[in-house]
Amino acid sequence: MMKKNTGFTLIELMIVVAIIGILAAISYPSYKNSVIKARRIDAMGALTGFQGAMERHYTESNSYLAAGSPNTGAPTIYSTVSPVDGGSAYYNLTIQAVTATTFTVRASPIAGSSQATDGYIELQGTDVRAWDKNNSGSVTAGEDSWDA
């Protein structure tokens, strides 16, 4: 009587590996886009927190001036990067424009990061939001919201 061998053949294993490779090739770009979107949303949240810090500064000094060094650029009252709770930085947070009664804060993607081609995000003190979706360096018509 002959004993029958059980197990997988090399061809069966190669087919499984090929299927796993195809699934990975299809899902990786979607995963990468989800990570970029999540980081952008985190930067939008950081800008909202930055807006709150600017409002607290105004309450204390009756002016938005002197919230940065000297007035525009890196903030002195809030984190200078996003994410604000540590980890790898993907956006620089800056005060783009400021007067005694108005301000605009910006999250700019850090060069060399996965967000580098994502375009900047802005928030004005009047709650006007803008995102440079096509990374052209300026906000064009239809890009005046934070639709992630």
Per-residue confidence (pLDDT) for residue 114, from 0 to 100: 87
- Note down the domain range covering 49: 10-131
Rounded CA gap, 120 and 93, in Å? 10
- Full DSSP string of 33-92: HHHHHHHHHHHHHHHHHHHHHHHHHHHHHSSSTTSBSSSSBSBSSS-SEESTTSSS--EE
Average pLDDT of the chain to the nearest whole number: 89
Q: Which residues, other chains included, contact 137 with Cβ-Cβ below 8 Å and sequence gap of 6+?
A: none
Residue 137 domain flag: no
Number of folded domains that form the chain: 1
Residue 146 domain flag: no
Residue 143 domain flag: no
pTM of the model: 0.81
Q: What is the pLDDT of residues 11-34, one digit of tens each?
A: 999 999 999 999 999 999 999 999
**Chain position carrying tokens 């906000």:** 139
